[in-house]
Chain A
Amino acid sequence: MTSSRLPAPFGFRLDRGRTVSFEFNNRRMTGYAGDTLASALLANGVQLVGRSFKLHRPRGFYSCGVEDPSGLVDVGTGATRTPNQRATMIELAEGLRAASVNCWPTVEFDLGSVTGMLSALLPAGFYYKTFKWPNWHLFEPMIRRMAGLGRAAGVADPDRYEEVAAVADVLVVGGGIAGLSAAVSAAQSGAHTLLLAGGAFLGGALSWRTDADIDALVAAARLAGVRILTRTMAFGVYDHGLVCARESLPPGSTRTAALQGDGANGGGRGVLRERLWKIRARHIVAAAGAFERPMLFPDNDRPGVMLAGAADKYAQAFGVACGRHVVIAANSDSAYGVAESLRGAGMNIVALVDRRARADIGVDGTSFRTLDRAGITKVDGSASVRGCTVVSVGAAGRPETFYCDAILSAGGYAPAVHLHSQAGGKLRWLEDAAMFVPDGHAPGLVSVGACAGIFDREAAAEHAAQVGRALANELVPPVATPQGAGRSLASTRLPGVTGKQFVDLQNDVAVDDVGLAARENYRSVEHLKRYTTTGMGTDQGKTSNVNALVLMGDFTGRQPAEVGTTKFRPPFAPVTLGLMAGRRVGALYRPLKSLPAERWHQAHGALFEQFGSWYRPAAYPLKGETLAVAAQREARAVRASVGVLDGSPLGKLEVFGPDAAEFLDLMYVGTMSTLRIGQARYGVLLNENGIVVDDGIVARMSEAQYWINTTSAGVERTTAAFEEWLQCEYTNLRVVVTPVTSRWGNVTVAGPKAWHWLSAIGFEAAFGPVSMKHMTLRTGALEGVPLRVLRASFSGELGYEVNLPADHVHWLLERLWARAPEFAAVPYGIEALEILRTEKGYIHIGTDTDGTTLPGDIGFARALDKKKANFVGRRSLLRPAACDPERLQLVALASGSATTPLPVGAQIAAGSPPARSQGYVTSSYMSPSLGTPVALGLLARGAERLGERVRVHHLGTTLEAVVVKAPFIDPAGEHLDGERLDG
């Protein structure tokens, strides 16, 4: 193919001294530094870039920017494969590899184009009318394979994204003449000003040529201290003046490496690819410019049909001619400037076909052929434009055929009112210029320049400067007066033409589809969008929304303002998912909490698992042991001799104050005010609905100080609940609640030899089981390290919970471990703990209870009437539901099999499913000490059914079980004091 490169001075953004090679569909090509992928492909004569979504019609570049509906490619391979990139936005870099999407086997010969031939059968919404018999499943796989554009990478993203916050007095979105003017005057008036430009160059619509005014403004901005970010696209305005923007980091050596990276691990550590800016501004100035509106004529989607302004940009900035013989279809004075400009670049303007009447055309005397009240009725060529036929409405109406290889479309402008609308601003329709413009200011946001309807550069600069100055001085800025766009018709199509006139090029929505939607009563602009899918492609309708709603107005006798626009929502243009997640990936996604002595556990062979938000040992398997076998060994060892468990995640609170006792009586089901100093009691916490939400031991350290344990999963919730009651309801109580879970570590030593072991490493005799009773707390020290020792037992054996400063847990474990062999001591993990507590019939909140369990269900509602305090949840226990005799109650279950534990979650019912469930198995383990399975469950009327045989159902099998009395081990509690210390 012939190159369509223009000589210098055209292509002022290029560095013709630096050739860049790249691949497109596996063909090697070259361009220059400064090219985009689109300009380089056009320069190489590549017009056919992809295929449309539904009909697989050939597609080429339609524009020069983010609004392009057609020029989509997949970039990169392997882990850095990035689908659906806009070639118009990709800065060419060495080694770039890009491929067409939505075509197979090649874009030139695409089997999917068969659907294009069936287009008459495939109007908008055709799938709602058929595919019902036999059912959708027969057709869906084929439809799904044909759907979608690019292909995802399939492996994890090696690149990184970060998030930055910024504040400003004035935030200007857009670096064109209006944006720069506003920023300069705001900064010169003393405002801390930040300006975001979406592209790499400042100047906006004027950045495609050198422009002295722009250069001067940029210099003034820098001098005035405006902070300027380029390649930073603002994509959303959110609550309270938050603007979010995506900064694309410029191509450089690291980025090039990433683009090449398709080797192992995607090329290594990856690069910082994009940055998310979260900006809070007192005032936002939208200077986002305007998009060009396309003309509607048959086959206006062929490669070679392009927006007029885009063709000019390609010529000026990239030195690329989009064609040699150009026909321009026009509905706007801007077409004439483009025509002159392209003529100056050596292109032949075959004809300018203006849809408007002479009276509406604001340009006189051209050096090329112009027709008025005329339009295109036919386009020749399929994969490229080869000519067109034009009809003039006024004259005899005889068609005229032109040879051309490019058709430019200049339908007028559509101001980019997205940010204004997102901020809650209203719109109004301008009859003359046929465009929506902001109707006044939006809350916190002012529009300037083309996005406010000002297309005259002097007027835009002047108004913007006034706005900048006003905002900096906290005055109300003037509203823009739209001007300079000339007159354009709302509707650009010729009456009576046949053939497909495309409105949305990506989703193949044509004028007839809009007519169909109107006929079938999908007349709301929102129904139009959803029914025809216009505007739902990756371009989000930037070049199609206005045409679509104008058409709907035509078909239903409504003005564009009556039809209205669909709701503008962020993002303004699609944004990388990884950018939104930022650093919250991998280990930083809801980071797990680690034990203070994690290294000790790692060194001793711990098998770590996630328990809630903690990463802690499930067991310490010896060589060759599975988790289950290790847990059995550990649990047996605890009952036989002694074990040590790192209980540091256990929730810990200090509750202090003259009213602490009264407060705790209001929080707990039981009574804590009667605790003597040094005494501890198990407590259950409810929510106001009466549901059991947490449990733990409460110990009294002094008259006014309590030491509270909660579950490790519930501590944050319980602490928050205590604070809420104190700050919001019981505001007169003098209580301070201090969470100390991470300050105090917990080393739990349990087993008959527990005291022997602690004594051997130096614990004072005062902690011994003779002097210190079960369920008491005593403070002390070991080698100067402060201790709070609680004699309590979740295992049923002699148990010591040694609380000490968290950074000393490692030290204490080492001390203990040095004397471990003498006592046959083992470290034990959560799995063994669960076995031990199940053997004793102790519950685990959230396992043996759920969001419906009341204290009475777990045997905890006795003697409540003796307590005076109106504790949390108490009133709920008096409701009818709480007294329902069929409630599920905690039971202990013996398995019918001596060797097979009951499956957790298995349902208890008289008959096989389907049947009314009477409950389910909640905890179940093999007991190493008993040699038989032990289990807990919830069973309707469980308390009355002791001794009953029940049937347990699990995934199609049925097992037997018996309701027995808990605990399974040591019912008299004789193990609690441990083995007597000799001597």
Chain B
Amino acid sequence: MKYSAWSLLRGALSGHRHWDPAWADVTRRSSYDVIIIGGGGHGLAAAYYLAKNHGVTNVAVLERGWIGGGNTGRNTTIVRSNYLFPESARLYDFSLKLYEGLSRELNFNIMLSQRALVMLAHSRHDLDSMSRWANAMRMNGIAAELVTAAEVGAMAPALDLSPNARLPVLGGFVQRRAGTARHDAVAWGYARAASALGVHIIQNCEVRGFIVESGKVAGVDTSLGPIRADRVGIAAAGHSSVLAKLAGFRLPVTSYALQAMVSEPIKPILDTVVLSPGTGAYVSQSDKGEIVMGAMLDLFPSYAQRGSFAVKQAIIASVLALFPSFSRLQLLRQWAGIVDVVHDSSPIIGPTPVPGLYINCGWGTGGFKAIPVGGWTLAHVLATGKSHALAEPFQLQRFIDGRLIDEAAASGIAH
């Protein structure tokens, strides 16, 4: 059933009783061609692209809670592709391009708002770093501009633009195609589209072990019983190590809490996304009017999805250092995800030491913008057994060879 203004009008006349479930209720099979563990954005996108790109529809997405309830539902919704190295630039810009067509493709308004991202320079050294960054992006064929302090002020007048600000704004650089998207809509949109192609979405199903036969994966043991498949993909973000342990290998991942929070909704005051690499803070205003904020990690391993109060204070202090006029707004909601951080802040997409078992993880603090490409490349390796060209540089082997792709600066978070 198609979503459109017409269908809304029809609904208005009929009490909205004609709508179908966004994703179908299914009777679980005992085996599938492919199982995807993790019903977040990456897992659901992988299921969709398996069906759409590769015609593989006998797929189950297993989600231990409610779909989109992990990091996909906990981020600050920023999408961008301002990365330094060519390998990352290709990966993330491919994702952004998919985002640009996603509402139409999924027939679900994901509310992509390309309202630009401005990264702030607070010192002349920052200006130099941004020059490198913007030029590197242009080398990779991605548009970026350096802007003056006055131009930053015109884009985000709520910033503290006074010359003796604690964080003076000396200029910045802008990616105009960057912006935000509605995170829940991305998860639900992919779920609906995948379900329409025959994918089974199974919630409240926790994987508790792997079935391995002759050294190859043959299925999973779950809270709802065993389910067989000879190809399994893990897209479980902060829980990647837990699953890896069940499969008998380790990952170069540590799981941390990454906090985010919103203020009460106010009338529009910030129309662009602002990121300050110097403080690690990033701020935007949602379409509902809430100021959305995030910054640094809680720097100790945690699966609690809670976040430390002291770090919350530090995040807010960073935001107010940029936007002092937000001081009298009230914090409405605060939450944390479990982010799978790897040393070089670049993902791992490809085979694991267990044949038939593949993984998509390591996105750390930057997974939301990569949902389309993460799904696309995980689907590719699940369908063909070979890594997608975009994913080739992002294998486990790089941690042995030392060929890290260190995007720590580009990810915008002070690790």
Contacts and interface: CB of A to CB of B under 8 A. Distances in A.
Direct contact of A and B (CB under 8 A): yes
Given A851-B408, A913-B141, A512 B109 contact: no
Interface in B315-367: 316-321, 324-335, 343
A53 B167 CA distance: 35
A140 B330 CA distance: 24
A121 interface: yes
Interface string B152-173: 0000001010000011100000
A148 B268 contact: yes
B138 interface: yes
A922 to B, nearest CB: 8
Contacts of A577: 263, 316, 319-320, 326-331
27 contacts: A84-B265, A121-B9, A129-B7, A136-B109, A144-B287, A157-B327, A238-B308, A278-B309, A519-B19, A522-B22, A531-B184, A538-B264, A569-B335, A574-B264, A577-B316, A577-B328, A589-B321, A610-B123, A879-B402, A880-B401, A904-B128, A905-B128, A905-B129, A907-B139, A909-B139, A913-B139, A955-B135
B327 A128 contact: no
A149 B329 contact: no
Contacts of A571: 331-332, 334
B303 interface: no
B89 to A, nearest CB: 10
Given A570-B334, A574-B330, 4 more contacts: A127-B109, A129-B109, A130-B4, A577-B326
Interface stretch (A75-83, A480-488, A656-664): A75-83
Interface string A896-917: 0000000111110100011111
Interface in B229-274: 263-269, 271
A953 interface: yes
A149 B266 contact: yes
Contacts of B213: none
Interface in B102-144: 103-104, 107-109, 111-114, 122-125, 128-136, 138-141
Interface stretch (A37-45, A579-587, A971-979): A579-587
Contacts of A519: 17, 19, 21
Given A80-B328, A156-B160, A852 B406 contact: yes
Contact of A920 (B24, B136, B404): B136
B203 interface: yes
Contacts of A526: 66, 69, 73
Contacts of B329: 83-84, 152, 576-577
Interface of A: 53, 80-84, 120-121, 123, 126-133, 135-137, 140, 143-145, 147-157, 159, 236, 238-239, 242, 244, 278, 512, 516, 519-522, 524, 526-527, 530-531, 533, 536, 538, 540, 569-571, 574-578, 580-582, 584-587, 589-590, 609-611, 689-690, 847, 850-852, 876, 879-882, 884, 903-907, 909, 913-917, 920, 953-956
B55 interface: no
A130 B12 CA distance: 13
A846 B351 CA distance: 35
Contacts of B343: 689
Point out which of A53, A157, A953 has the most chain B C-beta atoms below 10 A from its C-beta: A157
Contact of A578 (B69, B138, B327): B327
A130 B5 contact: yes
Contacts of B8: 121, 126, 129-130
A576 B328 contact: yes
A153 B138 contact: no
Contacts of B263: 577
Given A147-B265, A148-B267, A129 B3 contact: yes
A476 to B, nearest CB: 25
Contact of B66 (A239, A278, A524): A524
Contacts of A149: 264-267, 289
A887 to B, nearest CB: 11
A851 B411 CA distance: 13
A84 B262 CA distance: 14
B133 A689 contact: no
Contacts of B3: 128-130, 132
A598 to B, nearest CB: 15
B289 A148 contact: yes
B185 A880 contact: no
B333 A152 contact: no
A150 B15 CA distance: 32
B403 interface: yes
B287 A143 contact: yes
Contacts of A533: 288
A571 B12 CA distance: 37
B313 A582 contact: yes
Contact of B19 (A130, A155, A520, A850): A520
Contacts of A576: 327-331
A490 B138 CA distance: 61
B330 A955 contact: no
Interface in B361-415: 400-404, 406, 408-409
Contacts of A611: 123, 125
B57 to A, nearest CB: 19
Contacts of A242: 309
B332 A538 contact: yes
Given A576-B329, A577-B327, A154 B264 contact: no
B312 A154 contact: no
Nearest to B406: A851
B11 interface: yes
B203 A524 contact: yes
Contacts of A130: 3-5, 8, 109
Contact of B287 (A123, A140, A151, A917): A140
B113 to A, nearest CB: 6
A907 B86 CA distance: 13
Contacts of A82: 328
A144 B289 contact: yes
A955 B146 contact: yes
Nearest to A278: B309
Contacts of B94: none
Given A126-B8, A132-B109, A907-B139, A580 B313 contact: yes
Nearest to B131: A905
A177 B192 CA distance: 52
Nearest to B100: A135
A517 to B, nearest CB: 10
Contacts of B109: 127-132, 136
Contact of A879 (B113, B160, B401): B401
Given A585-B320, A905-B128, A157 B328 contact: yes
B125 to A, nearest CB: 7
Contacts of A881: 401-404
B12 A121 contact: yes
B309 to A, nearest CB: 5
A536 B332 CA distance: 9
Nearest to A524: B66
A128 B185 contact: yes
Point out which of A580, A689, A904 has the most chain B C-beta atoms below 10 A from its C-beta: A580
A917 B88 CA distance: 14
Nearest to B14: A120
A847 B263 CA distance: 37
Nearest to B308: A239
A140 B328 contact: no
B32 interface: no
A538 B64 CA distance: 30
A536 B333 CA distance: 9
A880 B398 CA distance: 10
A920 B135 contact: yes
B130 to A, nearest CB: 7
Contacts of B104: 132-133
Contacts of A157: 324-325, 327-328
Point out which of B7, B128, B168, B279 has the most chain A C-beta atoms below 10 A from its C-beta: B128
B113 A585 contact: no
A245 to B, nearest CB: 12
A592 to B, nearest CB: 8
A128 B326 contact: no
